[in-house]
């Protein structure tokens, strides 16, 4: 659905090229997944701490980042005790729409507080998430269409969440098979996150929209 590993790696490179980060130090990748961003950072000389709840994703990360200075931590993103001792961090990332998968908006606020507390002076917090419009309507659309595979997405909006149903149709040679999964994502306001960060005295280094996602970067003072 994301276009394959090569495209994901290219997108990670482009995102990290869009922001000036400290030249070295320890980086914390919250919600690292299979490690596309962690690998870019490690190749730039960072020691990377990659945190994710999915052990299967971290296993893939360890295989792909073999020989690089990357440490994996299995756990919830807001469980700071799992990774705080490796700080302070020159860079903290929570990208790839990971923020919207937290359970509540209070968890997002808590994660920002944790991140700012663990950043080194002049350290950078980089966030990326899909920001849903306040007037968004329920929708069904096709995300990819190939000869033997069709991927669709259905969105159902509530005031604080959007319910996402991913549907994959695959041709098995004699018939179509359909796979479906449904999950909730938070509806977040980038402006609210900017207001929270600036009120705490942090500098906005980047605020833009890339490929339909809000990208924010804050610098620790």
> 105-148, pLDDT tens digit by residue?
999 999 999 999 999 999 999 999 999 888 899 999 999 999 99
If asked whether residues 156 and 174 sit together in one domain, one would say yes
If asked whether residues 90 and 197 sit together in one domain, one would say yes
Beta strands in the chain (DSSP E): 26-30, 47-52, 70-74, 89-94, 119-129, 139-145, 149-157, 161-171, 176-186, 203-210, 213-219
If asked whether residues 57 and 104 sit together in one domain, one would say yes
Q: Is the pLDDT of residue 3 over 60?
A: no
The token duo for 1 is 């659905």
If asked whether residues 124 and 146 sit together in one domain, one would say no
If asked whether residues 17 and 93 sit together in one domain, one would say yes
Q: Which domain holds residue 162?
A: 139-186
pLDDT band at 89 (very low <50, low <70, confident <90, very high): very high
* Mean pLDDT, rounded, of the chain: 92
If asked whether residues 60 and 125 sit together in one domain, one would say yes
If asked whether residues 178 and 101 sit together in one domain, one would say no
If asked whether residues 80 and 20 sit together in one domain, one would say yes
Overall domain count for the chain: 2
If asked whether residues 180 and 202 sit together in one domain, one would say no
Q: Report the pLDDT averaged over residues 39-54.
A: 94
If asked whether residues 200 and 143 sit together in one domain, one would say no
More confident residue, 69 or 20: 69
The token duo for 197 is 């960060």
Q: What CATH number does the domain containing 55 carry?
A: 3.40.50.150
Instruction: Give the per-residue pLDDT at 10.
Output: 78
If asked whether residues 123 and 61 sit together in one domain, one would say yes
């Amino acid at each position: 659905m994301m276009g394959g590993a090569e495209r994901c790696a290219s997108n990670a490179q482009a995102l990290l090229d869009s922001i000036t980060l400290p030249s070295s130090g320890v980086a914390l990748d919250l919600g690292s997944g299979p490690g596309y961003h962690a690998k870019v950072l490690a190749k730039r000389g960072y020691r990377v701490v990659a945190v994710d709840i999915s052990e299967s994703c971290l296993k893939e990360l360890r295989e792909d980042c073999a020989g690089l200075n990357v440490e994996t931590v299995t756990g919830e993103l807001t469980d700071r005790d799992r990774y705080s001792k490796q700080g302070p961090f020159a860079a903290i990332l929570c990208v790839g729409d990971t923020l919207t998968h937290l359970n509540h908006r209070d968890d997002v606020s808590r994660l920002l507080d944790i991140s700012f507390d663990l950043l080194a002076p002049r350290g950078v917090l980089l966030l990326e998430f899909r920001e849903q419009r306040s007037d968004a309507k329920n929708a069904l659309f096709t995300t990819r269409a190939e000869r033997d595979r069709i991927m669709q997405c259905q969105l159902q909006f509530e005031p604080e969440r959007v319910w996402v149903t991913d549907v994959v149709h695959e041709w098995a040679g004699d018939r179509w098979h359909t796979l479906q999964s449904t999950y909730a994502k938070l509806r977040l306001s980038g402006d609210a996150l900017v207001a929270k960060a600036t009120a705490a005295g942090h500098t906005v280094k980047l605020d833009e929209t890339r490929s339909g996602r809000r990208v924010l970067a804050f610098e620790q003072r």
